Amino acid sequence: MTTFTINSDRLWGRLMALAEITRPDLPWTRRSFSPEFDRGRDWLRQEFESVGLDVSLDTAGNMIGRLPGSAQKNRPLMVGSHSDTVPSGGRFDGTLGVLAGLEAIQTLRENGVTLEHDIELVDFLAEEPSEFGLSCIGSKAMAGMLQDSDLDLQDGTGRTLREAMRSIGAVPEQLDQARRAENSNAAYLELHIEQATRLKSANVEIGVVTDIAAIRRDNVRVLGQTDHAGATPMGLRKDALVTASQMIALTEELTEQANEDGAAIVATIGRLELSPNAANAVPGVVEFTLESRSGDDDKLRAHTEGLLRRFEEIASARRQKVEIQPISCGTAVKSAGAVMQAIETATRDAGLSSMPLSSGAGHDAAYAARLGPAGMLFITCQDGRSHTPEEWVDQPECAEGAQVLMGAMLELDKL
């Protein structure tokens, strides 16, 4: 049971200070590998060092603050999340987990408490889908799941992921040095906003995450034929955007149907590019990302592959072609019972209520779970909104999350 309390104003001050490190024209944006991200990292490094953490960057570009434990326990207690954002995202997704971890560590130190375990506070590189199409780059690398071929992925300017990683101080040629062995962590904890409204609806403060959905992304390229928008008769057109729109509408229809059958699957087309993208030209090429998620790996595979087959049928029925390129496919991850238990105990000690819930959002915890027992705790966010500038959490709720995070760290230190 903790008898001391985190410093709510200090946590809030850091959250708002980091939020201000954004693209000024598009708040709140701190894209991985961008100048804003670098400035955010520099600021975070100073804050980590001011708390007495020994800060380093692993070869995968994860920034790690270390604090030695009092006993010679050979596995650290890891706390982490991410400081990058989606374009025009929010001020709490990811940053809350990193800064609440820092606040918990600072409060422990101020109260003369040294955990038996070493503590590692991690800002994982590029948790959000980056310009290279890949997400969770740093946590994937730490779990040994970032492939060499991924390093050749290019962003819209032709820069490779390898070059981008070098630009933030990573050493992609030595990724293996960032890799951690299975069970190398005593435990992993991540505080995150729920990005949905179940906690608010149930009037419960803390969500104890039971599992994290698998995310699959496929690149779909529809090949029609660019023609003059005025001179080309409708019957002679091969309009790739109309073809893509039939695929997109079918995605929603079949995914809603799958959920009626109890599949618990979501699918989204959130990125789409067309060319030549001119008002007076019939779209010849459309490229989009099909992203599907589920807590059940088998259902995810069956549903997504069924959709992609239907896309082929739609294209050929319209005398067009479709090229499908897998981008990434994760697996659903269960939280460790001991970590869930620690979160529940810490929640009770803090006089708060908790409920189990699954995460439809992906998180670094899904990869940290390959390094030892892992778990997450959620706090609510206003109207469940996230990945948008309207993302908001009130200060007391941030403080509650950090208090429970610190309590769970103390519980897990007994392992």
> Which positions lie near Mn ion, rule CB under 5 A?
93-94
Residue 135 in contact with ligand HGY, rule: CB under 6 A: yes
Q: What are the phi and psi torsion angles at 282 (to 5°)? A: -65, 125
Among 361, 398, 399, 408, binds ligand HGY (CB under 6 A): 361
Of 127-135, 230-238, 318-326, 365-373, the window that binds ligand HGY (rule: CB under 6 A) is 127-135
* Residue among 319, 262, 312 at smallest CA distance from 290: 312
Q: Is 128 in the site for ligand HGY (CB under 6 A)?
A: yes
The binder of 359, among Mn ion, ligand HGY, none, by C-beta within 5 to 8 A per type, is: none
Smallest separation (angstroms) from ligand HGY to the CB of 89: 9
Nearest approach in angstroms of CB 98 to ligand HGY is: 14
Residue whose CB is less far from ligand HGY, 123 or 127: 127
Q: How far is CA 106 from the centre of its chain?
A: 25
Q: Which does 135 bind (CB under 5 to 8 A by kind): Mn ion, ligand HGY, none?
A: ligand HGY
Rank residues 97 and 362 by Cβ distance to ligand HGY and give the closer one: 362
> HSE-up of 363 (CA within 13 Å, CB side)?
36
Beta-bridge mates of residue 55 = 65
Measured from the CB of residue 194, what is the shortest distance to ligand HGY in angstroms?
Answer: 11
Closest CB to ligand HGY among residues 59, 386: 386
CA distance 122 to 101: 9
Peptide bond into 276 cis (omega under 30): yes
Q: What count of other Cβ atoms lies within 10 Å of the Cβ of residue 122? A: 27
Classify each residue of 301-337 as buried b or exposed e, where b means 16 or more C-beta atoms within 10 Å of its C-beta.
eebbeebbeebeebbeebebebeeeebbebebbebbe
The smaller minimum CB distance to ligand HGY, of residues 210 and 225, is found at: 210
User: Binding residue for ligand HGY (CB under 6 A) from 84, 118, 123, 127?
Assistant: 127
First to last CA, the chain: 15
Find the binder of ligand HGY among 40, 61, 362, 407 (CB under 6 A). Answer: 362
Helix axes 8-19 and 95-110, enclosed angle (nearest 10): 140
131 binds ligand HGY (CB under 6 A): no
User: Which residues lie near ligand HGY (CB under 6 A)?
Assistant: 127-128, 135, 361-362
